[in-house]
Structure 1
Amino acid sequence: MAGASGWDARLGWAHGLIADERARREAALARLAEERARDQAAGDRFNALLRETRSNYAAPGVREAFAGWQAAKARVLPDALWSRSRADDIRHWPGLPYALLYLEWEARHPREWTRHAKKWGTKERLLRDLAVPEHATPVRAKLTDLVELAVQRPYRCKDRGYVGVARAVDSADLRDRLTAAARTANPWARRQAGYVRWLLDHPGLPNTRHVWRRWNDTEHDAPD
């Protein structure tokens, strides 16, 4: 169940989290709550057994309970995404579609994401690991969409990681989108899209707070 089909079997329902129809999202959120309750129950069983055996992992049932807990986590977002080791190349990881789904969920429905699945550390790691070249064409297209969505909203925690993603999927299409966003009436889009577009033109500059402040001081007024 470790391949793409296994991920779909466990988490295929999660596509409802990014649906436009509220009814589909509510159904997916209800499923998420059910899976999280099972995860909590499995964790409670494991921890209770561990206490009873004084942390003896060799005791009968302990390993089985732990395996059951991990199996329950594999059906929950974002917990399922934590199974990837640092040695796994994210470009070939079967869980990649659900990592992208997790980021798209925040981009399209931030309040629901924040209430039900907020994990800033997970977001930060995903953005860092996705900021690599040679993604498959469909993945590049999705990442381009995510960068465009990110620059059009008020800054959210760890959004700075989208600069690395933008640099990894740099293209004429992305630059055109950023240029268009920087010319809109949306003050956040003007500021953030302009900054990312500027960094694409200056690949040697680091994406640091100092560089961000310097660009703001020299290029633009503060957002309304």
Structure 2
Amino acid sequence: MQPVPSNSHSWLFNLTDPDPARRRAALDRQAELIATWSAGLRWSNTLWYQNGRSSDFSHSPRLTAEYDQAEAMQRNAIAQTLYSVAGGFSRARYQELDDSASESVPYAVLFLQWEVGFQHEWRTAAPWSPWELKERILRGFIKAGPLGWDEALLDLVMAAVNREHWCEDRWYAALARRLDSPELRNLLAEAAASTDPLVRLRAGYVSAVLDDRSTAVTVASWRRWLAATDG
């Protein structure tokens, strides 16, 4: 298991702590930050309406100062949440990871682990959908590779195979190609022998994806594979 980073964001790892009290404290702290961000957003919107729905406040130094404060309030609050810290990895996936982006990798993994361990809290902890960020993070690992987090990502792939389908889970099949190993193949073979027919199908599809690298991992390819399997 990778060590928890020791920095100002390390408290975020309590979001997946098995101790309910520690997890609740982390959830409350993140909720306070999101509430502060929301207050800053409302402040910005109020000023925008007062200014005739324009962001040009150059005619009024007072409004300019207030608007700058409102925008800073939003930036400073959201920057401390897991959504922003983990998002640093997804934003960097289009380029080579620099040192600052690399620091966000453990939090990107944490974001995925949070969904697996505490799905309801993961879904309801923010006023926006978490699935877009989930997709961007998974696509980031598909592009960049596991970056030393092979074991944690392997667990996440197998969790997706062994549970009901959740939104954006399809990216785990593509990520499996980055994690291909005898261990993964053995785990998929075990899942293929499950008493749950849906688990058997998911394990079979991921195995097929590993065997044929030319197959694009899409909803369409999943449906074609299912049709061929049923046939």
Report the TM-score range of the alignment, normalised by the length of the smaller protein.
0.7 to 0.9
State how far apart, in whole Å, the 1-side matches of 2:189 and 2:144 are: 22
Distance 1:91 1:147, change over 3 A: farther
Q: Which residue of 2 aligns with 1:184?
A: 194
Deviations 1:85-116 (A, max 9, x none): 56543585221211111111111221221222
Retained in 1: the 8 A contact 2:157–2:176? yes
Determine whether 1:151 maps to 2:158: no
1:169 corresponds to: 179
Q: Distance in 1 between matches of 2:98 and 2:162?
A: 26
Q: CA RMSD in A?
A: 2.6
Determine whether 1:128 maps to 2:145.
Answer: no
Residues 122/193 of structure 1: CA separation in 2 closer, same or farther (3 Å cut): same
The partner residue of 2:109 within 100, 107, 115 is 100
**1:1-224 equivalence runs, <5 A:** 8-9=7-8, 11-53=9-51, 54-56=54-56, 58=58, 59-83=64-88, 84=91, 87-89=94-96, 93=101, 94-117=103-126, 118-137=129-148, 139-219=149-229
Runs of 4+ in 1 over 6 A off after TM superposition: none
* CA deviations over 1:22-81 (Å, ceiling 9, x no partner): 333222222222121111122223333344444125523433431231111112232444
Cα distance per residue 1:107-156 (max 9 Å; x no partner): 1221221222442111111111110355432x122211110111111001
The whole-number CA distance in structure 2 between the counterparts of 1:18 and 1:30 is 13
Q: How many positions carry a matched residue from both structures?
A: 215
Q: Distance in 2 between matches of 1:130 and 1:91?
A: 15
Paired letter, 2:79? A
Native 8 Å contact 2:161 2:199 kept in 1: yes
Task: Give the structure-2-normalised TM-score.
Answer: 0.81
| Partner Cα separation in structure 2 for residue 203 and residue 122 of structure 1 | 26
SS of 1:16's equivalent in the other structure is helix
- In the alignment, structure 2 segments of 5+ residues that lack a partner are 59-63
Q: Distance in 2 between matches of 1:27 and 1:110?
A: 17
Secondary structure, counterpart of 1:56 in structure 2: coil
Aligned residues of 2:86 and 2:111 also touching (Cα < 8 A): no
Q: Kindly tell me: are residues 152 and 219 of structure 1, through their superposed partners in 2, closer, same or farther at Cα, counting changes over 3 Å? A: same
